[in-house]
């Protein structure tokens, strides 16, 4: 597109590093791997139990990491970060 003089924006197409919910999903998966469900009903039950363990403080701490996440993405020019 550049050769056709179409202006392009430098944009991270999809940065999971900027999504605190991805950290939450990761934590849920980690617990599920340790205690796998055998049925859909059991999976739903386990997911609900895991979800219920997340406290407002845990959620707020994830949100509070946003400045560090943004800085890391900028520093890595959109590439993967530790998040």
Please check whether residue 53 lies inside any domain of the structure.
yes
Domain contains 80? no
As for how many domains the chain has, the answer is 1
Q: Is residue 82 part of a domain?
A: no
Residue 49 lies in a domain: yes
Q: What is the pTM of this model?
A: 0.67
| 81, part of any domain | no
Q: What is the pLDDT of residues 19-36, one digit of tens each?
A: 889 999 999 999 999 999
What does the pLDDT average to over 44-53? 97
78 phi-psi bin (left φ>0, alpha ψ -120 to 50, beta other):
left
* Model pLDDT, residue 11: 67
Q: Is residue 37 part of a domain?
A: yes
Residue 66, domain extent: 2-75
If you average pLDDT over each of 7-16, 60-69, 71-80, which comes out highest?
60-69
Burial of 35 (0-12, 13-18, 19+ CB in 10 A): exposed
């Amino acid at each position: 597109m550049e050769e056709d003089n179409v202006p392009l924006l430098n944009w991270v197409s999809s940065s999971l590093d900027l999504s605190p919910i991805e950290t939450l999903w990761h934590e849920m998966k980690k617990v599920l791997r340790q205690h796998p469900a055998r049925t859909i009903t059991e999976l739903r039950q386990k997911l609900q139990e895991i979800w219920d363990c997340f406290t407002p403080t845990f959620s707020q701490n994830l949100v509070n990491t946003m400045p560090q996440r943004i800085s890391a993405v900028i520093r890595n020019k959109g590439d993967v970060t530790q998040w």
